[in-house]
Amino acid sequence: MLAFKLESEEISYKTKLITLQVKKESDIKLWHSWDYETEGAMLSDFITWFLQEKDKIIVGFNILKFDIPLLLMKSANMADFEKFSMKLNRSNILDLFVILTFQRRGNIKGFQDYCREFGIETAARDEILSLYANKQYSELDSLLVKNLTALERLFEKVVEKEK
C-alpha cells in the first residue's frame, strides 16, 4: 500500500506542484519542486519511480477529485503518459475523503477535520505554504512527513472502524 499526497500552491488545476510524497511502510519518498529546474522534470522522476513500483494500492485523501486528475493533466504530454495513466487505471485507489463522506451520510469534512476527529495530529496547509514561501525546506519536510503519516493513521482508523 502506498500512502500518497501532493502539495500545490493553490487548489486549482492550473496550480504549480510543490511536492509529491509517498509512504510505503517505513519508506518515505519526497519529490521537491526546488530540487528540479522544472515541474515537468519533478513529475517525470515521480512517474519513472511509480512505473517501477510493484504496489497497486494507493491511499490518499481527495485524490480522485484533485490529486490524480491534476497529475494526469500535467503529465498528458510526457513520454510515459500512456503507461502512467494505465497503471493508475489498474491500481486500487482508496480515497479516504469518499469513504468518510459516505460513512457520514454525505457530511463533508476536510483532512484536518477528520484527523482531529480521530485524534491524529496534522500540520495546517497554511503553515506548509508559509514554510515553502520562506524557503524553510527542512522544516517543511518534517510537516510533509507528519501529514503523510497522519494519512496512513487515518486509513488505519477507517479500516479498524469497518471491522
Q: How far apart are CA 129 and CA 8, in angstroms?
A: 9
Residue showing cell 486509513: 155
The predicted-structure confidence for 89-98, as pLDDT tens digits, reads as follows 999 999 999 9
Q: Quickly state the pLDDT bin for 33 (edges 50, 70, 90).
A: very high
**20: containing domain:** 2-162
pLDDT at 13 over 90: no
pLDDT at 29 over 90: yes
Q: What is the domain-level CATH number for residue 128?
A: 3.30.420.10
Q: How far apart are CA 112 and CA 162, in angstroms?
A: 21
pLDDT given at position 100: 95
Give residue 81's identity as a one-letter amino acid code.
Answer: F
pLDDT at 162 over 80: no
Chain centre distance of CA 141: 14
Number of domains the chain contains = 1
The predicted-structure confidence for 107-145, as pLDDT tens digits, reads as follows 899 999 999 999 999 999 999 999 999 999 999 999 999
Using DSSP's 3-state secondary structure scheme, residue 56 falls into coil
- Is 44 within 8 Å of 54 (Cβ atoms)? no
- Is 137 within 8 Å of 144 (Cβ atoms)? no
**9-21 mean pLDDT:** 94
Q: Supply the mean pLDDT for the chain.
A: 94
pLDDT given at position 5: 97
Main-chain dihedrals φ then ψ at residue 95, nearest 5 degrees: -100, 110
